[in-house]
Amino acid sequence: MSQPGLRIALAVAALSIVAFGQQSNLLPNTTSLTSTRTHFQTERHLLDSPAGDLYYDSAFAHGYRHGYEEGFHVGDLDLQMGREPRGPSRIPEYKHDSSGFKSNFGGKELFRRGYREGFHSGYQDAVSGSEFRETEKAEVAAQGIKLLFGSGQRAAFDQGFSGGYESAAGQQSTSKLISADYLQQYCEKSQAPGHTYVAEYCSGYSRGYLLGLEDHAAVADTEIAGEPPEQ
C-alpha cells in the first residue's frame, strides 16, 4: 500500500477515536462486558486458540465468525446445487445477523456488522470454490493478542477492530502485507496525546485492518519490515 493511502486510513482512525470518546454512552455497560472469561465457556468459538482470544475481545470479530460460517454453508449449497451466485439482499440467512448473539459478547450492533461482513466473505469463498479460510485469517489477526479485561479497554479494542476492517474496504490492492505491529505503532504515533485507550483502539484497528485487507484487497505474502514512518 502506498504511504498516502496508509496515512488516509489512519486519519480515519484518528477521527474514529474522537468519535469513540464522544459516543461512550452508546457502548455496552460494565455488566455486559464481564471481567472474566468464565461466562463464555459454553461458546465454542471462544474456546478456540488463539482465535478465541480475538473473539472474546471483539464482538465484531465474533459476529464475523458466525456470519462467515453461515455464509460459507449457504454458498456451498448454492455451488453444489448449480445455482447462480446471489446478492446478500436475496439470501434470507444474511438478514439473520443477530443469530447466536448473547448480551455478554459485547455490543450487539458491532456483532451484527461483523456478521454481515463475515457472511459476505464466507459466501464468496464458497461459491468461488475456495476452502474455508476464516480460521486462518482470524489466527493472523489474533497473533500476540492479550486479553483485555476492563470494559472500557475491551470496548475501545472492538471499536478499533470494526473501524480498521471497514477502512481497509476502500483501499487499493497492495503487493505487501503490512504487519499488525507496524499498523499499531503507526496508528498510535498519529494520535494526539490525551485520548483514552489509544493503545487498545489501535491494537484493534490494526488487526481489523489486516482482516479487511484480506477480504477486500489482493495482498501478497511479503511483510513490510522496519519502523513506522516518522511523523
C-alpha grid cell for residue 192? Answer: 494526539
Name the pTM for this structure: 0.78
Considering only 54-63, 139-148, 160-169, 213-222, which range has the smallest mean pLDDT? 213-222
Is the predicted pLDDT of residue 91 greater than 50, yes or no? yes
Please name the residue that has the C-alpha cell 470454490.
Answer: 129
Residues 42-61 pLDDT 10s: 677 777 566 888 998 999 99
Task: Count Cβ atoms below 10 Å from residue 20 Cβ, excluding itself.
Answer: 23
Residue 157 phi, psi dihedral angles, 5° rounding: -60, -45
Map out the domains of the chain as residue ranges. Answer: 3-216
pLDDT tens, position by position, 26-39: 344 333 434 445 55
